[in-house]
Amino acid sequence: MTRIASLRPEFVEFIPDDLARGVLYVSMQYATAAHSCCCGCGREVVTPLSPTDWKLIFDGRSVSLEPSIGNWSFPCQSHYWIRHNHIRWAPHWSAAQIAAGRGYDAAAKSRYFDSLDQEQTKMDEHDHLAFGKPTPTPTFWQRIRKWWS
């Protein structure tokens, strides 16, 4: 399988049944983007565009998607970012590492979120600026929680 190094955006109304390699299909009407997995396995990666899913950035020439694409449910388990039409690959993790990492991260994140909740309570009582970092928006953390649970 040959990895795809870049994607070019194609704005369509309907996402086609057969996705051409190297094309990021974007349907504004249905707030959805889709592409053929960049590892070359050919699986269809559908990324809904919404405040709690993915965000598409089109600068007039190239597209970027946020957050990263983590195809954990595919056999390839590829993980990459789409930045200005280019694919940036995350370091490869074995299945065992992903399982271990997810378990570890879930526990770590749950502790982290608990502490965030506590901080949030403190922040409500005190000056926000004293903590020296921006308050995370609820949708962002809800999404991460959903992602890791």
Question: Is 78 one of the binding residues for Zn ion (CB under 5 A)?
Answer: yes
Closest to Zn ion by CB, 33 vs 109, is 33
Question: Is 41 one of the binding residues for Zn ion (CB under 5 A)?
Answer: yes
Segment interacting with Zn ion, rule: CB under 5 A, options 36-44, 103-111, 113-121, 131-139: 36-44
DSSP helix/strand/coil, 48: strand
Question: Is 37 one of the binding residues for Zn ion (CB under 5 A)?
Answer: yes
CA angle at 65 for the pair 6 and 93, rounded to the nearest 5°: 75
Residues 8/25, Cβ–Cβ less than 8 Å = no
Written in H, E and C, the secondary structure of 36-47 is: ECCCCCCCEEEE
| CA gap 54, 47 in Å, rounded | 6
Segment interacting with Zn ion, rule: CB under 5 A, options 11-19, 32-40, 111-119, 141-149: 32-40
Question: Is 39 one of the binding residues for Zn ion (CB under 5 A)?
Answer: yes
Work out which of 76, 98, 123, 144 binds Zn ion, going by CB under 5 A.
Answer: 76
Question: Is 7 one of the binding residues for Zn ion (CB under 5 A)?
Answer: no
Residue length, the chain?
Answer: 149
The footprint of Zn ion (CB under 5 A) covers 37, 39, 41, 76, 78
